[in-house]
């Protein structure tokens, strides 16, 4: 019967932070569940390592489960972080619970109660039954115990309880170390008799749970032992052993377990040595402890007088075996001395390397955190400072001895810095962008080649079909509109209530009806006949004319429009024939076919440089903005990217996606939260 068929695991964890991390995880065999939290430096990296260890853990006894958890506690203490854990390990009919700064709730039938809670590592074991619900709760999530108990009593399922708690947990400012894990047993086959109470498991010492080892003693050995006993009993006149309370079994077992843990810390070679010491310690305990207990109670002569009687059970030793054990004890003591010396040297060496690494890394991490703080005020300078620090950390890691604790410590800080830079770099990748609207809902074969917007509405034009669709950006409602005899709808511009089009002069277009209607407000003339761009701003209309090498401005009055005046100051080196877009928001912004952005004020070119962007624009770009917006939104379809740039030239953000490969136009919503991008019949949205 597989574990997978009877266990349902439902986790809930808080939102991770720089110095706090939690997780609820089940191993690959689905017989080990761990709910834990880590607080302190590098909490995320340490937590991910624990998850990896848990997923691949293969434990086949309660003792190994306990030792494995104790190793996690020791190692996290050495890393200088705070570690809390709540865990369960399952067999076919029993379950072991363990906590350190955590709580385990148990629902059995109609009853709900605390099965185990402890500030120190503690373990109990007992059976489980079908429909048991176990809740593993981290220390920081214990405030929810009352609510969870109430919902379990009311019969809510783990999924429903998790959903009801999720908003509250994630709404807490510091939920990083909160974690819960619900375990439910659903297999309908019997899982064994289940007593009403869970019985504690006595750990350690483990040595006392090992059954006696029976030895086969030959008749010759028994004869030798019989003849040896009286001589020993009369020698020295010793009548009784001193009354000293010595639990040798427990001492040896604890000592062996400690060596075992040391072995896990110092490497595979010493680990094998520690296992040897543990084995010998247990063997000595089983053979020596009964003698010492009898010597204490009855005196040494009586003990030796009974050796012959007990020889048949194989509990005591003949002279040759005693000699061998003495030799083994000497060897073990020598090995222990070597082990302690080696461990002391190793730990001193590790501590020295760790101190060296921290001394090197500490000023750089302080420098890095200062750069992080600077990002809000000056993104370009802040990101550059972060990159410089990361480069210094990379060089430190490269120069450190390969595989040393120094290198590993630096690499941990380096990864931490790289992760934080990635989050603040403004670089985003998306395989596909969310769809704001699909114009095929109005007409199945509609393909938009152009988009105009005044912030409240957008006009999408299919030039091949001479048709358009007006969308209300608030409710996304669509209204078809015919373009009549218009062969093209460019150059054009929609400013507030005025939609301008250059077509036989400057036309004012009305798109409120079923078909577009035109009203000429400026006759066809030299200033607008070959114009390629038009834009409205306030009461002004701007027209860019490459043939005339000028930009003309018209003033629109209540009844008519003034004659044009040349807006450009003489001698401005403007590439008129390369301009692909024109926006006016108080200043004038022009984009070009080779990826340049030009800024003009009062007819003069201004210095404008993009700072902090890794890859400059190199191809045709389109852009949009508004007078009350501090950013420019630039679309470069050839690079499949949308880039947001401050009007001061600072790079803000980049979103790259294959969805942008065929994009033809863009607009930013009036609340500045989204950019809408047209690609064929689809309108994609990007949160900004």
Q: Is the pTM of this model over 0.85?
A: no
Give residue 33's pLDDT band: very low, low, confident or very high (50, 70, 90).
very high
Say how far apart CA 680 and CA 682 lie, in whole Å: 6
The two tokens of residue 520 are: 């000429």
Strand-pair category, 651-656 with 427-429: parallel
State which H helix or E strand residue 644 sits in. strand 641-646
Report how far apart, in Å, the C-alpha atoms of 618 and of each of 426, 596, 634 are.
Answer: 20, 8, 12
Q: Which of these ranges, 74-88, 260-274, 354-368, 444-458, has the smallest mean pLDDT? A: 260-274
Most confident of 38-42, 185-189, 491-495: 38-42
Give residue 553's pLDDT band: very low, low, confident or very high (50, 70, 90).
very high
The predicted pLDDT at position 256 comes to 53
Say how far apart CA 99 and CA 123 lie, in whole Å: 7
Give residue 225's pLDDT band: very low, low, confident or very high (50, 70, 90).
very low
Report how far apart, in Å, the C-alpha atoms of 148 and of each of 110, 137, 144, 157 are.
Answer: 14, 10, 6, 11
Say how far apart CA 594 and CA 649 lie, in whole Å: 18
The predicted pLDDT at position 283 comes to 52
Q: Give 393-418 pLDDT, tens digit per residue.
A: 999 999 988 888 888 889 988 998 88
Q: Where are the domains of the chain?
A: 7-202, 208-317, 348-423, 435-687
CA within 13 Å, CB half, 342: 17
Q: Give 143-166 pLDDT, tens digit per residue.
A: 899 899 989 988 888 999 999 898
Which residues fall within 8 angstroms of residue 349, CB to CB, at 6 or more apart? none
Say how far apart CA 634 and CA 241 lie, in whole Å: 93
Per cent of the chain over pLDDT 70 is: 79
The predicted pLDDT at position 599 comes to 96
Q: 544 near 578, Cβ under 8 Å?
A: no
Q: Does domain 7-202 have CATH number 3.60.40.10?
A: yes
Say how far apart CA 664 and CA 288 lie, in whole Å: 89
Q: 385 near 374, Cβ under 8 Å?
A: yes
Give residue 355's pLDDT band: very low, low, confident or very high (50, 70, 90).
confident
352 or 272: which carries more pLDDT confidence? Answer: 352
Q: 423 near 372, Cβ under 8 Å?
A: no
The predicted pLDDT at position 487 comes to 63
179 φ, ψ (degrees, to nearest 5): -150, 140
Q: How far is residue 282 CA from its own chain's centroid?
A: 44
Q: Give 419-449 pLDDT, tens digit per residue.
A: 888 878 888 888 899 999 999 887 888 888 8
Handedness of CA 351, 353, 357, 362 (dihedral sign): positive
Q: Give 164-206 pLDDT, tens digit per residue.
A: 898 888 888 788 999 999 998 876 443 333 333 344 444 433 3
Question: Residue 155 in 3-state DSSP?
Answer: coil
The predicted pLDDT at position 357 comes to 81
Q: How far is residue 613 CA from its own chain's centroid?
A: 26
Question: Residue 136 in 3-state DSSP?
Answer: strand
The predicted pLDDT at position 420 comes to 86
The predicted pLDDT at position 245 comes to 40
Residue 323, pLDDT above cutoff 50: yes
The predicted pLDDT at position 212 comes to 32
Q: Give 79-97 pLDDT, tens digit per residue.
A: 999 999 999 999 877 899 9
Strand-pair category, 467-472 with 457-462: antiparallel
The two tokens of residue 293 are: 């207990």
650 φ, ψ (degrees, to nearest 5): -75, 135
Residue 673, pLDDT above cutoff 50: yes
Which one is the CATH code of 435-687: 3.20.20.70, 2.130.10.10, 3.40.50.740, 3.30.420.40? 2.130.10.10
Map tokens 């010493």 to a residue: 270
The residue-averaged pLDDT of 116-123 equals: 91
Report how far apart, in Å, the C-alpha atoms of 419 and of each of 43, 406, 413, 526 are.
Answer: 13, 20, 10, 58
- The DSSP call for residue 29 is T
The residue-averaged pLDDT of 32-58 equals: 92
Q: Give 286-322 pLDDT, tens digit per residue.
A: 555 555 555 555 554 554 555 444 444 444 445 665 6
């Amino acid at each position: 019967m597989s574990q997978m068929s009877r266990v349902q695991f439902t986790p809930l964890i808080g939102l991770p932070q720089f110095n706090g991390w939690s997780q609820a995880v089940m191993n690959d065999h689905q017989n080990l569940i761990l709910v834990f939290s880590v607080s302190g430096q590098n909490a995320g990296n340490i937590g991910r390592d624990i998850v990896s260890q848990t997923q691949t853990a293969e434990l086949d006894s309660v003792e190994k489960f306990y030792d494995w958890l104790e190793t996690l506690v020791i190692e996290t203490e050495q890393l200088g972080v705070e570690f809390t854990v709540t865990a369960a390990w399952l067999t076919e009919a029993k379950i072991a619970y363990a906590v350190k700064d955590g709580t385990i709730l148990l629902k059995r039938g109609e009853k709900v109660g605390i099965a185990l809670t402890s500030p120190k590592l503690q373990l109990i074991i007992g059976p489980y039954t079908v429909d048991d619900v176990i809740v593993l709760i981290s220390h920081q999530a214990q405030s929810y115990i009352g609510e969870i108990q109430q919902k379990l009593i009311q019969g809510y399922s783990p999924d429903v309880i998790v959903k009801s708690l999720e908003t509250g947990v994630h709404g807490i400012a510091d939920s990083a170390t909160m974690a819960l894990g619900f375990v439910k047993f659903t297999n309908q086959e019997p899982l064994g008799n289940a007593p009403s109470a869970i019985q504690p498991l006595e750990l350690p010492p483990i040595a006392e749970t090992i059954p006696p080892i029976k030895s086969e003693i030959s008749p010759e050995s028994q004869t030798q032992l019989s003849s040896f006993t009286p001589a020993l009993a009369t020698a020295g006149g010793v009548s009784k052993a001193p009354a000293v309370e010595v639990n040798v079994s427990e001492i040896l077992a604890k000592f062996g377990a400690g060596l075992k843990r040391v072995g896990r810390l110092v490497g595979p070679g010493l680990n094998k040595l520690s296992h040897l010491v543990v084995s010998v310690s247990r063997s000595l305990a089983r053979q020596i402890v009964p003698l010492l207990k009898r010597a204490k109670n009855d005196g040494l002569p009586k003990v030796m007088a009974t050796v012959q009687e007990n020889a048949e059970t194989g509990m005591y030793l003949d002279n040759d075996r005693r000699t061998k054990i003495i030799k083994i004890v000497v060897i073990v003591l020598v090995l222990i001395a070597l082990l302690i010396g080696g461990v002391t040297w190793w730990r001193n060496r590790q501590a020295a390397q760790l101190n060296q690494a921290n001394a090197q890394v500490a000023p750089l991490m302080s420098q890095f955190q200062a750069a992080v703080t600077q990002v809000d005020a000056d993104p370009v300078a802040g990101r550059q400072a972060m990159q410089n620090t990361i480069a210094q950390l990379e060089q430190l890691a490269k120069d450190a001895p390969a595989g040393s604790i120094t290198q590993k410590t630096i690499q941990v800080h380096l990864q931490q810095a790289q992760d934080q830079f990635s989050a603040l770099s403004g670089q985003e990748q998306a395989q596909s962008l969310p769809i704001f609207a699909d114009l095929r809902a109005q007409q199945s074969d509609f393909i938009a080649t152009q988009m105009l917007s005044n912030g409240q509405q957008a006009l999408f034009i299919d030039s091949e079909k001479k048709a358009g669709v007006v969308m209300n950006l608030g409710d996304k409602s669509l209204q078809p509109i015919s373009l009549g005899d218009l062969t093209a709808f460019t150059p054009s511009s929609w400013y507030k209530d005025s939609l301008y089009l250059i077509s036989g002069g400057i036309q004012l277009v009305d798109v409120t009806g079923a078909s577009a209607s035109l009203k000429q407000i400026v006759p066809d003339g030299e200033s607008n006949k070959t114009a390629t761009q038009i834009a409205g701003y306030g009461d002004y209309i701007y027209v860019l004319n490459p043939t005339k090498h000028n930009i003309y401005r018209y003033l629109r009055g209540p009844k008519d429009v003034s004659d044009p005046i040349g807006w450009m100051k003489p001698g401005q080196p403007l590439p008129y024939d390369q301009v692909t877009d024109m926006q006016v928001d108080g200043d004038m912004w022009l984009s070009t076919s080779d990826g340049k952005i030009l800024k003009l004020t009062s007819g003069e070119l201004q210095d404008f440089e993009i700072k902090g962007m890794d890859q400059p624009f190199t191809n045709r770009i389109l852009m949009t903005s508004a007078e009350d917006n501090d950013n420019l939104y630039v679309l470069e379809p050839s690079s499949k990217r949308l880039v947001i740039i401050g009007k001061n030239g600072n790079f803000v953000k980049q979103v790259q996606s294959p969805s942008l490969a065929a994009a033809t136009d863009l607009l930013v919503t009036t609340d500045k939260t989204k950019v809408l991008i047209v690609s064929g019949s689809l309108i994609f949205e990007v949160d900004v």
